[in-house]
Structure 1
Amino acid sequence: MLIIVTRSGGFAGGELTAALDTDCRADGAELERLAESALTSEGPAGREPVPDGFGYVVRVDGKLVELRDPHLTEAQRKLIDAVLAEAV
């Protein structure tokens, strides 16, 4: 499964994109579970953007979801953190 996350916004207004392929990873099954949950779960109530907050576009095998800080589920946060860690 190919997972791509693009983060934009924040104080500096920059953009960061990272991708990972779960096929050859020891934690691949867990990342796939998080990805499926991220695509189907609504974040907490109050989805209005916050000043200097990040926005995320998560793409999983052709499906796309747009998310905003701080309105993320735990699964969405874990997935985003894992994928963006690949960019560093």
Structure 2
Amino acid sequence: MLITVTRSGGFAGGEEERELDTAGRLDASQWEDLAHRAVASTADGYHYRITVDDRAIDLQDPYLSADQRQLIRGVLDEGA
């Protein structure tokens, strides 16, 4: 099994990608079980992209701050 993790953002705005191939590893079953559990636990909610001028962020419900939730509700209710 090939597992890939990509991390982006932060102050520098860079991106880092790492791969782990479980083939031939003594601990392969632990990694594979963990990967299956991690992918299965994805929240079933709305996805949002908020763009303010030239800056965009991607968000997923239920992981929204109170300010993000208020902004989303307001724009969806009052926006054109």
TM-score by length of 1: 0.47
The aligned counterpart of 2:26 is: 26
Q: How much does 1:48 deviate?
A: 2.9
Q: In the aligned structure 1, how far is the partner of 2:5 from the partner of 2:64?
A: 20
Larger RCO of the pair (alpha carbons < 8 Å, separation 6+) = 1
Q: Does 1:47 align with 2:63?
A: yes
Matches within 5 A, 1:9-88: 9-42=9-42, 46-48=62-64
The aligned counterpart of 2:71 is: none
Contiguous gaps of at least 5 residues in structure 2: 44-60, 66-80
Contiguous gaps of at least 5 residues in structure 1: 50-88
Structure 1 segments, 4+ long, off by >3 Å, are none
Structure possessing the higher radius of gyration over alpha carbons = 2
Number of paired residues? 48
1:18-54, CA deviations, whole angstroms, 9 ceiling, x for partnerless residues?
11110111211110001001111036x74138xxxxx
